[in-house]
Structure 1
Amino acid sequence: MSNYLNSDVCVSNFSKILKEPNFIDKSLLIEDLVPSIDIENRFVCITRPRRFGKTVAANMIASFFGKDDSSSLFGGLKISQKGCYAEHLNKQNILFILVLQKKRWMSFTKRIRIEKTML
Structure 2
Amino acid sequence: IYCPDPANTCEEGIESMDDVDVDKCVVDSWGVYDCTEAGCPPTEENPEPCYNLFRSIVSSGYYALLNLFGEFPLCDQHSPAGKVVGTLTAVVAVAVFALPTGLIGNSIEDLMQRRKEAEEAAEGEEKGEE
TM-score above 0.5: no
Bigger helix fraction: 2
**TM-score, normalised via structure 1 length:** 0.21
Larger Rg: 2
